Amino acid sequence: MKEIIQKLVAIPGPSGFEGRVRDAIQNEVKPYADSVQIDALGNLIVTKGKKSANGKRIMLAAHMDEIGVIATHIDKKGFVRFSNLGYLFARNCMAAHVSFLNGARGVVNGDHLEDASKLHSLDQFFIDVGATSPKDCPVKIGDVGVFERPVIDLGKRLISKALDDRIGCAILVKAIQQIKESPNELVFVFTTQEEVSNRGATPAAYRVDPDLGLAVDVTDVGDTPTGKMEVSLGKGPAIKVKDGGMIADPRVVRWMTDTAEKAGIPYQMEILLGGTTDARTIQLTRAGVPTGCLSIPTRYIHSPAEMIDLEDVENSLTLLLDLLRNPVEIK
């Protein structure tokens, strides 16, 4: 698991530019899949198994994109102004290293503020790529990039950029590789552009037309000194009850909690006050789909240094496999 996580987080893939991530995932899963397709928005759709008489078509979604930047202006000294791809916390940008998809690299800094106690807003930042003018600047308007940060292996825990949601992608990759039999038709969708309003999942869910939906994504935690949320690292996967964009189907929540309890898998209940996942899009497709979300507790989401606990990841995979290997009863 650690190997596939480290492989996926190292690949740059901001919203709308997920191709290299998709290629890496496709290489991992193709030998285990019944079919592999790529749709018009770049979603990777991997199907495994057929629906039996008592089975369902289950759509599993994890998004490939990460938060990023896009160049909007090059000033006369060669400094790059930028906007966001996905939600960026301005406080996390100062001194961050940026790697553009064209190979250019730079560091973020900001305009001089008369009041040093104030925080910069996003439009007060620039990226210094070592240029002296627009002519020698290696970045052009419209070029995109991501934060650059090496993976820090703490043994039980990992720190990296892009764990949102390469960790979900890694779990789905392992599920595809490990699951041998299921009464259900399993459709694993590695989605694009989740960080910009769940755009990839919208046509994917319409195409798949699932009987049941399940997103695998990260969620915030409340175990830091000023945290106020009842989710912690190391206490198991979180089963979503509600977030800022959806209320999980109570029948799906019960199915997930019952399965975890029967298997002795630790879990937590998640109520996220802001933000949402591809689960919202799946839930609202066509005439509506019973949908839930399996969440991996993550510290410092949407920063260049997110943190996960590997025991939570392994327990998330174990729970997901138990959910998929058996007939689904939602009631």
Distance CA(254)–CA(292), nearest Å, equals: 10
To the query of whether residue 194 is one of the catalytic residues in this protein, the response is: yes
Q: Which residues of 96-120 are buried (b: 16+ CB within 10 A; e: fewer)?
A: bbbbbbeebebebbbeeeeeeeeeb
Q: Which helix or strand (DSSP H or E) is residue 15 part of?
A: none
Distance CA(103)–CA(322), nearest Å, equals: 42
Distance CA(82)–CA(109), nearest Å, equals: 12
Catalytic residue among 28, 66, 185, 194: 194
- 223 prior amide bond cis, ω within 30: no
What does DSSP assign to residue 125?
A: E
Q: How far is CA 242 from the centre of its chain?
A: 18
What is the identity of the amino acid at 299? R
Catalytic residues: 194
